[in-house]
Chain A
Amino acid sequence: MELKDKLLSSFMVFEDRVNHQSKNINEIRNTAIKNFQQKGFPTKKDEDWKYTSLNALLKHDYTISPQQESAIEFKDVKKYFIHDIDTYKIVFIDGKYSSFLSETTHDGIDVCLMSSALNKPKYKIIMDSYYNKAAKADHSLTSLNTAFASEGAYIHIPRNKVVEKPIQIVHFSTGNETSVMLQPRNLIVVDENSHVQIIERHQSLTSNVVLTNSVTEVFANKRAIVDYYKIQNDNQEASLIDNTFISQKQSSNVSVHTFSFGGKLIRNNLQFFQRGERIDSTMKGITIIGDKQHVDHNTLVHHIEPNCESHQDYKGIFGDRSTGVFNGKVVVEKEAQKTNAFQANNNILVDDKATINTKPQLEIFADDVKCSHGCTIGQLDKDALFYLRSRGIPEKEAKALLMYAFANNVLESVKINAIKTRINKLIAQKLGVNLGFDL
């Protein structure tokens, strides 16, 4: 049976199981499954999927709702956490919540589970106001997630709270099923003047096939600050489609840093909607891949109101036969005067067989705006390489240092030092070097 048909028939079973949820949620699910049924999985004929094919991924016979509970010892997975600082943790194993590995809270803020939010009346007001309100309704993969959404992180920060501890959302998958499809759903609502930092990671613990189709909605209300870090360093058989929708209100500031170092196929759909004035939106990324890995960044910033800014800076380093895609769309509506929108995508192809497709798309309807974009594709600078080697640094290490220097400015805006340190270590690891100091 094709995956699409399998999903559609599983939905009927799933629907029976969740039909006690609110009428509103059930309606959202039904609309979503209809949309997915109609549109199906995206193909290379869709303009947005021209350079990313899901065909190979869709051939597996995925288990759609893994049942078996798996226990994981913290010591075995400690390395996947940012563990040297105090954090809240919302941890899932094969899509199921692991209370053992988690540290949630209801003390002044809600750092808990989507399953609770979907089922318990006390979350109804927030859910009715925000759930599925930012996610693109006509987007087939998002709809697929919406239809099956049952678990994930639910975070609500009421007004005037600076959350001191970052929140880690970690999804593990284990080897209980030969191939598994996971559809986590996260909702993050940050009220006026509040500040929160979030770290998200998906990690497969075996070499079994995993396909994750994740949807995250972030709402930043007036003057809220949200810093979101995505660490994507999964193993060779794990693929991730990350759909993240960010809705911002007046004077809010949201940044998303995406570090893509591993996985079979990664597609990041990252969309910002500016619904207020003086909003700041930042999206940055470092991609370092090799083998036959594929990473696709598909971004959108929708400037709807005047006096807002957006900053995009994506750096990519592609080795072996890896492929990269950057498709960055900036829309500036007629009302969005005095918009400042910057976009940069710089790439280094380390090997002849590596490929990058980069495409900036600017749609500007306002006349008093500053928009800039630039993309570059290059090789490592030979003079720079000679400089480092002439100081006794071997070629491999010299190349690593240059690649690090190339990607470095993306790290400058990372506000959590422990993340910076971790990313530096991952970069050194990814580049296969030990320089005797932490990059």
Chain B
Amino acid sequence: MLHIKNLHAGIEEKGILRGINLEVKAGEVHAIMGPNGSGKSTLSSVIAGKEEYEVTDGEIFLNGENIEELGPEERAHEGVFLSFQYPVEIPGVSVTNFVKTAINETRKAKGLEDMPASEMLKKIREKAELLEIDRRFLSRSLNEGFSGGEKKRNEIFQMAMLEPKLAILDETDSGLDIDALRIVANGVNKLRSKDNAVIVITHYQRLLDYIVPDFVHVLHNGKIVKSGTKELALELEEKGYDWIKQEATI
């Protein structure tokens, strides 16, 4: 599904990612962990196509296709979804209308007609129920005045609506209390299938108790310095990141 080869990227001459190699196959869940400033959020932004970052070397393939030239919306149309750490407030545009627009723009890009209103409504109900979101919430302006937890839940709701092939959850656990974390994780798990993949980016192990990864990678100084299975996450939780840093310098 996703194949990243020797990716170097940065912003305004400053290198942040220094040779990332990563392969994510359909059906897998990968966790990317690492200390602050290790390049976790940069990696997710670069995969999603944020134009402020410059890719200086390496390639990103999505389903065998090099996506370097694709804008963020085109990557979304190809099935990439990034759940933001800090979602943006859009006053005057309701959650429902925003999601409708996102879905129909993606359909338009694929040469499909707009989704029929009844189908849309049914889907909205179904996914809202999955994430324990009530109807009043859906008519509120997107992210405006939402609590941290509401914003994150709304991100996963959008993900559920858009049904991406590759979902990247950037620090989705931050700002969530334990109940919200459970609901969000439950939503993500219900959406998992053999055809899609999830990358969970997190600082802490907590979320991985709920969304259990197949692989865990540790990012440090813009490189993946260690990869393993879910046990690695537990080890990191116990020992912190220092030993990884030391190991990396040796």
Interface residues of A (CB under 8 A from B): 381-384, 386-395, 397-398, 401-402, 404-405, 408-409, 411, 435-437, 439
Contact = CB atoms under 8 A, between A and B. Distances in A.
Contact of B105 (A397, A404, A405, A409): A397
A315 to B, nearest CB: 12
Contact of A436 (B52, B81, B114): B114
The CB with the most chain B CB atoms within 10 A, among A383, A391, A395, A411, is that of: A391
Interface in B42-66: 45, 48-52
Contact of B76 (A384, A392, A402, A439): A392
B68 interface: no
Contact of B90 (A389, A401, A437): A401
Tell me whether chain A's interface is mostly helix, strand or loop, or mixed: helix
Given A390-B48, A408-B91, A436 B72 contact: no
Interface in B210-224: none
Nearest to B115: A436
Contacts of A436: 100-101, 104, 114
Nearest to B80: A390
Contact of B77 (A392, A398, A401): A392
Contacts of A411: 92
Contacts, number: 90
A409 B145 CA distance: 14
Interface in B9-24: none
Given A386-B50, A386-B51, A436-B100, A392 B105 contact: yes
A312 to B, nearest CB: 19
Nearest to A438: B97
For the complex of A and B, 4 pairs with smallest distance between CB atoms = A408-B92, A392-B76, A389-B72, A392-B106
A390 B76 contact: yes
B75 to A, nearest CB: 8
Contacts of B52: 382, 386
Given A392-B102, A394-B109, 14 more contacts: A382-B52, A386-B45, A386-B48, A389-B73, A389-B76, A390-B49, A390-B72, A392-B106, A394-B73, A401-B90, A405-B92, A435-B101, A436-B114, A437-B97
B52 to A, nearest CB: 6
B92 A439 contact: yes
Contacts of A393: 73, 101-102, 105
Given A382-B52, A436-B114, A389 B71 contact: yes
28 contacts: A381-B88, A383-B88, A386-B48, A386-B50, A386-B72, A387-B88, A388-B88, A390-B72, A390-B82, A391-B73, A391-B81, A392-B73, A392-B102, A393-B73, A393-B105, A398-B73, A401-B90, A401-B93, A404-B92, A405-B93, A408-B92, A409-B91, A409-B92, A411-B92, A436-B100, A436-B104, A437-B101, A439-B92
A409 B105 CA distance: 26
A435 B98 CA distance: 9
A301 to B, nearest CB: 26
B76 A391 contact: yes
B137 interface: no
A132 to B, nearest CB: 40
B84 interface: yes
A436 B98 CA distance: 10
Contacts of B76: 389-392
A293 B225 CA distance: 57
Given A401-B93, A402-B90, A408-B91, A395 B102 contact: no
A382 B53 CA distance: 12
A435 B101 CA distance: 6
B29 to A, nearest CB: 20
Contacts of A392: 73, 76-77, 102-103, 105-106, 109, 162
B89 interface: yes
A391 B102 contact: yes
A437 B158 contact: no
Contacts of B51: 382, 386
Contacts of B228: none
A250 B92 CA distance: 34
Nearest to A424: B92
Nearest to A386: B50
A385 to B, nearest CB: 9
A390 B87 CA distance: 11
A334 B72 CA distance: 57
The CB with the most chain A CB atoms within 10 A, among B48, B51, B72, B86, is that of: B72
Contacts of A404: 92-93
Contacts of A439: 92-93
B72 A405 contact: no
Given A435-B101, A436-B101, A436-B114, A390 B93 contact: no
A395 B71 contact: yes
Given A436-B104, A436-B114, A390 B73 contact: yes
Nearest to A407: B92
Given A392-B76, A437-B101, A387 B93 contact: no
B101 A397 contact: yes
A392 B162 CA distance: 9
Contacts of B103: 392
A390 B47 CA distance: 10
Contacts of B90: 384, 388, 401-402, 405
Nearest to A404: B92
A384 to B, nearest CB: 4
B105 A394 contact: yes
Nearest to A436: B104
B50 to A, nearest CB: 5
Nearest to B144: A405
Contacts of A409: 91-92
A386 B82 CA distance: 10
Contacts of A389: 49, 71-73, 76
A404 B48 CA distance: 24
